[in-house]
Amino acid sequence: MWVVMQRLAELWTINKKRPLTEDEMKEMEQCLEANAKRAWKLATLENLSLVASMTNDMEWQHEICAEIEKLEKAH
């Protein structure tokens, strides 16, 4: 699991038992922002892959798929 998501789950669990400290809240916001950016980038790449497929541009699609794999391995 991506380390950011692990920390987010940890903070969420802590928050179920007690209110988060100010520092923990900032960290949770940072985790949420990182997750949103990663999700947006992945969605963009998947849409570009679809366009490449629809236009039969196999070279471009392979490049995009390589970027998707790289992003997924970075977790």
Residue-wise pLDDT for 22-71, tens only, equals: 999 999 999 999 999 999 999 999 999 999 999 999 999 999 999 999 99
Maximum alpha-carbon separation in the chain? 54
What are the residues whose beta carbons fall under 8 Å from the beta carbon of 37, sequence distance 6 or more?
Answer: none
C-alpha closest to that of 49 among 63, 39, 69, 38:
63
Please, are residues 52 and 64 in contact by the beta-carbon 8 Å criterion?
yes
Reported confidence tier of residue 1, pLDDT bands at 50, 70, 90: low
pLDDT, position 2: 81
Query: At which residue do the structure tokens 């916001």 appear?
Result: 29
Q: What is the domain count for the chain? A: 1
Domain of residue 34 covers 3-73
What are the residues whose beta carbons fall under 8 Å from the beta carbon of 35, sequence distance 6 or more?
Answer: 4, 5, 8
